[in-house]
């Protein structure tokens, strides 16, 4: 979404960080629906004005044992400013950039639109994009060469977004919980998390190794990775395309 210029501003329409109130517009049931989240009805665990709106995985100071409080010199303010600060303390979606809150705030508003967090536990990328931008979501029978030439190479035009994924056998059938294939996690739209990513093929081609330097790619579990088109086709069996429309 951040690669499409102006898209975030289109549905994140108002905010007041000092008061702790945020306004969003989502497209649901053929019409734009306003959603407001504020600190008047926050989740159970709180930490600051903005983070009041979000679920925090770190317990409140009052929930600590005596020994745990001692680790923080029995200073509630110090505990909140250190242990319960930043995106890493969030229970659900969080940004890779510390203290960046737009992603979890959108998630909370989206959950409110649908009733609760349970209602958005799963789904399809295209459904979420339609809710955010009324984007068209055609279903294509993909010819690999045509898809590369007429779709992927046009990503630079910024008028389309793609979601990729694949399903694995459930744990009952495969006997494996949270199956990871070559570093990829099934059942997610990529990139799902920042600590697991494509490990790469057994051998990198000379052409791709040269391209990695040009792309300024760095190896590491940051959720961003480069893979050859043939590996992409071998590993992902679901491709969702969303066309974005401007005001014209």
Domain for residue 17, yes or no?
A: yes
DSSP for 65-90, written as a single string: -HHHHHHTTT-HHHHHHHTT-SGGGB
Residue among 188, 195, 205, 186 at smallest CA distance from 225: 195
Most confident of 23-27, 100-104, 142-146: 23-27
Read off the tokens for 213: 């330097």
| pLDDT tens, residue by residue, 8-41 | 777 888 988 887 888 998 887 778 889 988 754 4
Domain for residue 1, yes or no?
A: no
Query: Do 54 and 162 fall into the same domain?
Result: no
Which residue range(s) make up the domain with 90? 7-120
Query: Do 108 and 147 fall into the same domain?
Result: no
Query: Do 135 and 224 fall into the same domain?
Result: yes
Higher pLDDT, 88 or 60: 60
Domain for residue 2, yes or no?
A: no
DSSP, collapsed to helix, strand or coil, labels residue 152 as: helix
Query: Do 76 and 131 fall into the same domain?
Result: no
Q: Between helices 102-114 and 125-133, what is the axis angle to 10°?
A: 90
Domain for residue 248, yes or no?
A: no
Query: Do 105 and 69 fall into the same domain?
Result: yes
The yes-or-no verdict on residue 42 having pLDDT over 50 is: no
User: With bands split at pLDDT 50, 70 and 90, how would you rate the model's confidence at 44?
Assistant: very low
The yes-or-no verdict on residue 79 having pLDDT over 60 is: yes
| Phi and psi angles of residue 152, each rounded to the nearest 5 degrees, phi first | -65, -40
Domain for residue 116, yes or no?
A: yes
* Mean pLDDT estimate for the chain: 74
Number of separate domains in the chain: 2
Q: Return the minimum-mean-pLDDT range out of 66-70, 104-108, 109-113, 214-218.
A: 214-218
Q: Which residue is listed with tokens 């590993």?
A: 235
Within 10 angstroms of residue 184's Cβ, the number of other Cβ atoms is 22
DSSP for the chain, written as a single string: -TTSTTHHHHHEEEEETTTTEEEEEEEETTEEEEEEEETTS--S---STTGGGS-BSSPPGGGS-HHHHHHTTT-HHHHHHHTT-SGGGBSS---SSTT--HHHHHHHHHHHHHSSGGGGSS--HHHHHHHHH--B-------HHHHHHHTGGGGGGSSEEEEEE-----HHHHS-SS-EETTEETTSPSS--SS------SS--HHHHHHHHHTT---SSSS-----HHHHHHH--EEEEEE-----
Listed residues 69, 93, 120: the one ending a domain: 120
Listed residues 105, 120, 135: the one ending a domain: 120
Read off the tokens for 171: 């744990």
pLDDT at residue 120 in the model: 81
Query: Do 143 and 104 fall into the same domain?
Result: no
pLDDT at residue 49 in the model: 37
Query: Do 89 and 176 fall into the same domain?
Result: no
Residue 28 per-residue DSSP state: E
Domain for residue 177, yes or no?
A: yes
Domain for residue 35, yes or no?
A: yes
The yes-or-no verdict on residue 163 having pLDDT over 60 is: yes
Query: Do 233 and 129 fall into the same domain?
Result: yes
Domain for residue 217, yes or no?
A: yes
Query: Do 57 and 105 fall into the same domain?
Result: yes
Whole-angstrom Cα distance, residue 42 to residue 49? 10
Whole-angstrom Cα distance, residue 131 to residue 28? 6
Query: Do 65 and 160 fall into the same domain?
Result: no
Read off the tokens for 192: 């799902």
The yes-or-no verdict on residue 50 having pLDDT over 50 is: no
Q: Return the minimum-mean-pLDDT range out of 30-44, 115-129, 169-183, 231-245.
A: 169-183
Query: Do 79 and 13 fall into the same domain?
Result: yes
Higher pLDDT, 212 or 69: 69
* Percentage, residues of the chain above pLDDT 70: 69
Whole-angstrom Cα distance, residue 84 to residue 69? 13
Query: Do 131 and 228 fall into the same domain?
Result: yes
* Domain harbouring 215, CATH code: 3.90.70
Most confident of 59-63, 94-98, 176-180: 59-63
């Amino acid at each position: 979404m951040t690669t499409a210029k102006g898209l975030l501003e289109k549905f994140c329409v108002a905010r007041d960080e000092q008061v702790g109130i945020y306004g969003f517009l989502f497209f649901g049931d053929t019409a734009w629906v306003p959603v407001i989240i504020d600190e008047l009805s926050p989740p159970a665990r709180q930490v600051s004005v903005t983070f009041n709106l979000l679920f925090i995985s770190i317990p409140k100071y009052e929930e600590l044992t005596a020994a745990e409080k001692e680790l923080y010199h029995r200073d509630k303010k110090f505990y909140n400013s250190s242990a319960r600060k930043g995106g890493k303390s969030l229970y659900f979606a969080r940004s890779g950039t510390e203290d960046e809150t737009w992603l979890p705030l959108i998630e909370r508003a989206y959950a409110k639109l649908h009733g609760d967090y349970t209602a958005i536990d799963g789904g399809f990328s295209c459904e979420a994009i339609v809710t955010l931008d009324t984007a068209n979501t055609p279903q294509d029978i993909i010819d690999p060469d045509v898809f590369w030439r007429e779709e992927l190479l046009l990503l630079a035009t910024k008028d389309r977004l793609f979601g990729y994924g694949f399903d694995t056998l459930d744990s009952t059938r495969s006997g494996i919980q949270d199956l990871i294939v070559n570093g990829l996690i099934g059942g997610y739209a990529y990139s799902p998390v920042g600590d697991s990513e494509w490990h790469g093929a057994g051998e990198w081609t000379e052409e791709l190794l040269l391209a990695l330097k040009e792309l300024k790619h760095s190896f590491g579990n940051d959720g961003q990775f480069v893979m050859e088109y043939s590996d992409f086709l071998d590993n992902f069996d679901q491709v969702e395309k969303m066309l974005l429309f401007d005001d014209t």
